[in-house]
Amino acid sequence: MLSRLSLWILSKLGWAVQADYPDVKKYVVIAAPHTSNWDFPLGILAAKAVNLDIHWMGKHALFRWPWGWFFRALGGTPVYREQSLNLIQQMAELFAQSERLVLALAPEGTRKKKDHWKTGFYYIARTANVPIVMGYLDYGHKQVGIGGAFYPGNDIETDFNQIRQFYKNRRGKIPQNESLIEVHQRED
């Protein structure tokens, strides 16, 4: 029922849904480009439309009263950015303990333009030995979907090239806010 309702709402809004699922029960979904507050409700509607039970992480402020219960009910887990927690290891352990788990993350980490993506999604997938699946909200074509599953290898630059190719013709709601799909180069 919820699936049909979500699909109906998306179609009334002019959106099409495409899903190319990997043949596994556990994976990391990256959701990009993330440029607008509208990305979240559209992404949740799309997940419900295709019966995808997602879990996601969001900044802790989303989980405060009065809406915290609602975001948790939608599969959310708060992230406290100021704390130095090993989220990669914690998420890998959660994958190991779960029979099924689809973890959705926005690698940009913000709706504002950045010169790189955060790489936590990549290291979570590598550590947990699960594939990365690329989710998208393409406002240019009014399509939402997932596809392009791959297991991360030992060369992050090669894997980011594959990711760049997948997203090259997909536009966010606010294209000028799209972050560059680059690995953050740390200065030592």
pLDDT digits (tens, 9 = 90+) for 113-138: 999 999 999 999 999 999 999 999 99
Q: Give me the residue spans of the domains in the chain.
A: 2-177
Query: 87-97 and 120-128 helices cross at what angle (nearest 10)?
Result: 40
Distances (CA, A) of 181 to 67, 79, 165: 32, 22, 10
pTM value is: 0.90
Query: CA–CA separation, 43 vs 15, rounded Å?
Result: 11
User: Smallest Cα–Cα separation from 41: which of 74, 63, 19?
Assistant: 74
User: Smallest Cα–Cα separation from 108: which of 148, 137, 76, 144?
Assistant: 137
Looking at residue 188, its pLDDT comes to 45
pLDDT by residue for the chain (188 residues), tens digit each?
889 999 999 999 999 999 998 999 999 999 999 999 999 999 999 999 988 999 998 788 889 999 999 999 999 988 776 655 688 888 898 899 999 999 999 999 889 999 999 999 999 999 999 999 999 999 999 999 999 999 999 999 999 999 999 999 999 999 999 999 999 876 54
Within 10 Å of residue 122's Cβ, how many Cβ atoms? 22
